Amino acid sequence: MLGATVYRFTDSPPRTLVRYWPVGGGESFTFWSSADFSLISGIYSFVATDGETRSLFMMWSSTVVDHIADLDTAWNREHGIPEIPDFADGPATYTIVGTAPADPAVLVPIQSLHNLYNSEFNRLKTAYDGRERARIEHEAYLKVHPPQPKNITLNYWRIEKLAPTTGGTK
């Protein structure tokens, strides 16, 4: 299970902050990645470098860093942007925040995802663009053809006993 926030910039590539919860209740940890995890959002299972098939459940969001700064200024507050490590140009890599997991085998799925991202980047990008195009087309369709409210009948009943109206005891 992964939770990812993709930080987008106007003048540099996106960076992703990821929280990873290993299967089997292992200790969770956080890492920064130079991969755009919004592209990985279409992957539901993959074969890791150890030959094991892994399932992927990821909740992700995207944040435009310039918008955070604009909101901070408009609302006169400091929401702040996390400190993002520098990554070298080239294939996507990651760096762990804080303490690394004690068992290096826990990192196999993470490294495998990065390997998959690097080798299949063009296919991942094309699939993501297709999903985004479909989402935008569906939103436009719903604006022109808003769903009509349905006429429903709601049946209900009381589940607690009513107190007697006369002659009851207290």
Domain-by-domain residue ranges, the chain? 2-144
Q: Which pLDDT belongs to residue 25?
A: 73
Nearest to 40 by CA among 106, 92, 82: 92
Spatial distance between the Cα atoms of 98 and 94, rounded to a whole number of angstroms: 13
Q: What's the CA gap between 72 and 81, in Å, rounded?
A: 10
38 touches 60 (CB < 8 A): yes
CB 131 within 8 A of CB 42: yes
Average pLDDT taken over every residue of the chain: 88
Flag the least confident range among 55-64, 77-86, 90-99: 77-86
**Residue 89 or residue 79, greater confidence:** 89
Task: State yes or no: pLDDT of 16 exceeds 90.
Answer: yes
111 compared with 155, residue with greater pLDDT: 111
Q: Which of the pair, 12 or 160, is modelled with greater confidence?
A: 12
Whole-number Å distance between alpha carbons of 5 and 29: 14
- Helical spans, DSSP H, in 33-149: 37-40, 65-75, 108-119, 121-144
* Chain centroid, CA 132 distance in Å: 15
The helix (H) or strand (E) run that includes residue 72 is helix 65-75
Q: What is the pLDDT of residue 167?
A: 64
What share of the chain has pLDDT > 90, as a percent? 58
Locus of tokens 């009943």: 157
